[in-house]
Structure 1
Amino acid sequence: MNMWRSLLFVPANRQKMLDKLGAIPADGFIFDLEDTVPAEEKAHARQMAADCIAQLPADRCWVRVNGIRSGFLHEDLDAFVGQVQVAGFVLPKQDTAADVAAVDRMLASLEASRGMAVGSIPVIAMIESASGVLFAHQIMTASSRVASAVYAGGQDGDMNVSLGATWSSEGPEMMFARQMTLLSARAADIPCPLDGVYANIADPAGFERDTQLSQRLGFRGRTVIHPSQVEAANRIYMPSEADIAYYTRVLQAFEDALGRGTASTTVDGKLVDVAMAANARRVLDLVAAYQRK
């Protein structure tokens, strides 16, 4: 099970940032070839990213390619398919299932030509528009490659432009789109739905509040844009020591109850039955997945 509390965006053409990655405790990195890289820098950014990725653990390196209508996508995929350290690709601006299906076909062709198992490269779909939200479940189930999806609702970003809404964290302006993306991911059996960036890096308190809200909503991690946001994301998405201790006791009490021939008991005055035991296993499995990072 792939789980990420923090995926740090890194502009692939910024050598100073690339040089620092080994010391940053993010669960993963997204080498960005898209919005942060001007057109004339794309080819150079691919090479810089490839050189850096070769020095990092394979399960931490993702590449955000350019969009399907950009004219750069095929070159992006061609440059990285087969590089062992690349965990997969992040697909921006996924508006319909046809977008995912088109990338799936391109990847399948490259995999086959390079002797790789067809379908072996995972992707993360970014939901960045009203169309993306409306068709989110179809997008997330358009290919078995889709390992996760990102609600890309950062302040003044593409989602704001598409919706015509004022950005807010806790208010109603963006909440339906945020929750609909999460709902679609859960309905698609995606274990680690990802929230998007918090754009104001000068507001760490706001980032913590927004990440706490994100965790309560059901997101399991998020994309971040600055190393200073990594520690808070890792801490907030990880269940607390108190929760771990409680759910460990819940599972033990439930197993003891089964040994007595019943499927219900109480822990700290709270009912524990099959559903509560399943939730306890989910939390402890989540902790184990995070700890493997």
Structure 2
Amino acid sequence: MSSERPSLRSLLFVPGTRTGWLAKAEAAGADAAILDLEDAVPAEDKPAARRQVAAAVAAHTGDMALFIRINPLDSWAAAEELRAVAHARLTGVVVPKVAGPDDVRLADRLLSWCEREHGLPDGHLALVPLLESAAALHDARDIGRAAPRVAYLGAVTGRGGDVERAVGYRWSPSGAETLALRSRVLLDVRAAGVPCPVGGLWTTIGDLDGLRAFAEQNRSLGYEGMMAIHPSHVPAINAVFSPNPEEIARFERLIVAVDEARARGAGAITFEGEMVDEAMAVRARAALRRAKR
């Protein structure tokens, strides 16, 4: 199932107590919304938020993918939370505070149990482990390989929060202090065969130029999308992680040129001043497929 997951450019967090904001997320153009039952919900409000989120998922009819960030899987209460929210209209579950592969395997078993209980196909629900400790970041490859349903995995760094405390970096707008970390985690995720790696976060709401530069840096590393905390960030993220018209036109020309060369029995050819071959055409075709989706 994991290899069939669609690429997602923008995954916007929405508080579990504010499910009415899903309309704002969809209006902003988010590819996905993450209904948050963890940090965004005070302890005393979690039971009510769980019911509210489950109802919102069941009532969802739009094209936007829906995820739920549950609470850490360290008690049976969290397992009951999974049972409450599992639904055919749910795309996946975001699991916080993952310590290593064993946590992923536990989440995978619980999700399989929920799928059978709700009559869903095995592997229907994607699993998004959050790498929020030094150990989890170090073991990204093993975490990515722990279950076939793992998708949308990557280094989610930012100002403050668990990752900064765990690693000890000093945040700067350029992101230079986490560049090596994001690069290494991305390589681990790709080596594990996990589809659609996503990064994040940009926490300064009003700094759209900084957000765009950070998103472009993530895209240049190989990430396919980013998590976001505010609807105003979605258009910039979508633009960065989408091929522009010029890129699409070049992909189309490149494919035609390579196909014509192959018909003549040629391999590598000169195309618009660069050497290209079938490998470049494969990448261009994949980019066009993502653009159409």
- Describe the shift of the 1:138–1:191 C-alpha distance in structure 2 as closer, same or farther (beyond 3 A): same
- Describe the shift of the 1:169–1:130 C-alpha distance in structure 2 as closer, same or farther (beyond 3 A): farther
1:88 to 80, 87, 92: 92
When the two structures are superposed, what TM-score results if normalisation uses the length of structure 2? 0.92
C-alpha RMSD over aligned residues: 1.8
* Equivalent residue number for residue 285 of structure 2: 281
Matches within 5 A, 1:260-271: 260-271=264-275
1:43 equivalent to 2:50? Answer: no
Matches within 5 A, 1:95-134: 95-134=99-138
Q: Give CA deviations for 1:135-161 in whole Å, capped at 9, x if unaligned.
A: 001101100111221322121111100
- Describe the shift of the 1:109–1:171 C-alpha distance in structure 2 as closer, same or farther (beyond 3 A): closer
Matches within 5 A, 1:114-263: 114-263=118-267
2:68 to 38, 63, 67: 63
Aligned length: 288
CA displacement at 1:109 relative to structure 2 = 2.1
- Describe the shift of the 1:116–1:18 C-alpha distance in structure 2 as closer, same or farther (beyond 3 A): closer
Mind listing any 5+ residue stretches in structure 1 that lack a counterpart? Answer: none
* Equivalent residue number for residue 78 of structure 1: 83
Mind listing any 5+ residue stretches in structure 2 that lack a counterpart? Answer: none
Deviates more, 1:138-147 or 1:184-193: 184-193
When the two structures are superposed, what TM-score results if normalisation uses the length of structure 1? 0.92
Deviates more, 1:137-146 or 1:100-109: 100-109
Q: Which runs of 4+ in 1 moved over 6 A?
A: none
- Describe the shift of the 1:247–1:88 C-alpha distance in structure 2 as closer, same or farther (beyond 3 A): same
Work out whether residues 65 and 89 of structure 1, in 8 Å CA contact, stay in contact via their aligned partners in 2. yes
Deviates more, 1:266-275 or 1:71-80: 71-80
- Describe the shift of the 1:21–1:216 C-alpha distance in structure 2 as closer, same or farther (beyond 3 A): closer
Work out whether residues 266 and 272 of structure 1, in 8 Å CA contact, stay in contact via their aligned partners in 2. yes
The code of the aligned residue for 2:125 comes to I
The code of the aligned residue for 1:67 comes to P
CA displacement at 1:108 relative to structure 2 = 1.9
Provide the C-alpha distance between the structure 2 equivalents of 1:252 and 1:58, rounded to a whole number of angstroms: 32
* Identity score, percent: 36
Deviates more, 1:169-178 or 1:143-152: 169-178
